[in-house]
Amino acid sequence: MAGRRRAWWGVALWLLVGALVSLVACGGGRSATDTASADVQRLLDRRAAAVLAADVPAYARTGAPAEFTRLRALPLAAWSYRLTALHRIDGHGATADVELSYRVEGIDKAPVRVGRTLSLTERDGGQWYVDDDRPARKTGQQLWDQGTVRAVRGAHSLVLGVGQSPESLRRYAGLADRAVPAVTEAWGGAWTKRVVVLVPKSLAGMAGLLGSPASGYRGIAAVTTGETGGSVKAPADRIIVNPEAYSVLGDFGKQVVLTHETTHVATRTATSAATPLWLSEGYADWVGYRSTGRTAVQAAPELALAVASGDVPEALPEDADFGFGGDAAKLARAYEGGWLACRMVADRWGEVRLGEFYRAVGAHGKRAGAVEEALAEVLGTTPGEFTGRWREYLRAQLG
């Protein structure tokens, strides 16, 4: 019996030693990876600190110094990197998946978070350096990815541009500064009353910022990006201009476009999945044209042609009618139809009720029943009656 116990003890000891060897070997592998990740995170922390301190030599010591020159005009309140994955390529190279978090000073209520992919090299006795910093796969570019950023501050705006002259950016700031009080007068005071306008060099630059093909935005003067129903944790919206389409507009058209997009910024927290595009786009156009004195025929030429030929729409525009890549005339009629629906509400029920109706629809949270309930509660009507009144309004205003 004693011999058998010694035999089992020997087996157990052998198994224990083997397990320890295995754990040490596995732990050693993890330790090497963890050490490299920790070293890279420290590199990124130094790089972020250099950005915030505007310390060019310190930034250059982390590698790829050109990026700092391109983004140094950004007025930053915060800038940090978080390493999410490190992929070794060979003995001295790696790629890093990184989350960049930043806030524009005086603008963003919460950080903008974007994915970046960094190419790294290890040299000088184990020191890591950044060789390249680019958007993560399927992620839109940041403005500094396209060139050196210029910044112009207006009374109610911050305009950031690439490939644009200071004079051009100041003109955008002037338009935005006129748009903000116009929107506040129509919508009310419960919004930030500041806008960020991004002006890339070209249509291709606009598409790069949006991470989408340029063909989808040809002829579109500007778009607004932001979180629908955005909370206090959402960063500020960005108005992104297509300089090619915007430049062919006259002064009147440029102002209407900036006021329209600024309206989207103001109404973002009241806009949700329940809000149909005819209402969100129509309301933005209503604010854009509100104090211009333009007649319905002047502001809705495509729909006026259709109504004059006896082709009065049977129903309000569907969301699909607002697609950028389709028929330009159909798109114009969709915008014009939404605008005239909102104009009709303002004319018949009053501007205050129009704002209440917009908020009531967005507060519903989901599309089903949202418009129907808001029509009943705010305007005292039904979808059928509303559509009938709208069709009569089109005939009266455009016929």
Looking at residue 88, which CATH number applies to its domain?
A: 3.10.450.50
Q: Is 366 within the bounds of a domain?
A: yes
Q: Are 232 and 110 in contact (CB under 8 A)?
A: yes
Identify whether residues 54 and 77 lie together within a single domain.
yes
Q: Are 237 and 157 in contact (CB under 8 A)?
A: no
Residue 240 has which token pair? 């992104």
Domain count, the chain: 3
Q: Is 11 within the bounds of a domain?
A: no
Q: Are 79 and 67 in contact (CB under 8 A)?
A: no
Identify whether residues 159 and 252 lie together within a single domain.
yes
Identify whether residues 386 and 303 lie together within a single domain.
yes
Identify whether residues 252 and 305 lie together within a single domain.
no
Identify whether residues 223 and 283 lie together within a single domain.
no
* pLDDT for residue 172: 98
Identify whether residues 317 and 395 lie together within a single domain.
yes
pLDDT tier, 174 (very low <50, low <70, confident <90, very high otherwise): very high
Percent above pLDDT 90 for the chain:
80
pTM above 0.95, yes or no: no
Mapping DSSP to helix (H, G, I), strand (E, B) and coil, where does residue 80 land?
strand
Identify whether residues 75 and 118 lie together within a single domain.
yes
Of 94, 118, 139, which one is at a domain's C-terminal end?
139
Residue 33 has which token pair? 């990876």
* pLDDT for residue 15: 32
Identify whether residues 341 and 328 lie together within a single domain.
yes
Of 116, 139, 162, which one is at a domain's C-terminal end?
139
Q: Is 4 within the bounds of a domain?
A: no
Mapping DSSP to helix (H, G, I), strand (E, B) and coil, where does residue 240 land?
strand
Q: Is 150 within the bounds of a domain?
A: yes
Determine the residue type at 379.
Answer: L
* pLDDT for residue 4: 35
Identify whether residues 231 and 277 lie together within a single domain.
no
Asked if pLDDT for residue 26 goes beyond 60, the answer is no
Q: Is 180 within the bounds of a domain?
A: yes
Average pLDDT of 221-236? 74
- Dihedral angle computed from the Cα positions of residues 241, 247, 253 and 258, in that order, rounded to the nearest 10 degrees: 20
Backbone phi, psi, residue 392, to 5° = -65, -40
Average pLDDT of 170-179? 98
pLDDT digits (tens, 9 = 90+) for 87-143: 998 878 999 999 999 999 988 989 999 999 999 999 877 899 999 999 999 999 999
Asked if pLDDT for residue 38 goes beyond 90, the answer is yes
Identify whether residues 236 and 281 lie together within a single domain.
no
Residue 8 has which token pair? 């089992």
Q: Is 113 within the bounds of a domain?
A: yes
Asked if pLDDT for residue 3 goes beyond 50, the answer is no
- When mean pLDDT is compared across 66-70, 169-173, 225-229, the lowest value belongs to 225-229
CA distances from 187 to 4, 270, 291, 341 (A): 89, 11, 13, 17
Task: Say how many C-beta atoms besides its own lie within 10 A of residue 188's C-beta.
Answer: 14
Q: Is 13 within the bounds of a domain?
A: no
* pLDDT for residue 178: 98
Identify whether residues 135 and 60 lie together within a single domain.
yes
What is the pairing mode between strands 195-199 and 157-162? parallel
Q: Is 89 within the bounds of a domain?
A: yes
* pLDDT for residue 338: 98
Backbone phi, psi, residue 218, to 5° = -65, 125
Average pLDDT of 190-215? 94
- For residue 217, the enclosing domain spans 145-266
* pLDDT for residue 228: 60
Identify whether residues 110 and 69 lie together within a single domain.
yes
pLDDT digits (tens, 9 = 90+) for 285-315: 999 999 999 999 999 999 999 999 999 999 9
Of 82, 115, 139, which one is at a domain's C-terminal end?
139
Backbone phi, psi, residue 154, to 5° = -105, -175
pLDDT tier, 328 (very low <50, low <70, confident <90, very high otherwise): confident
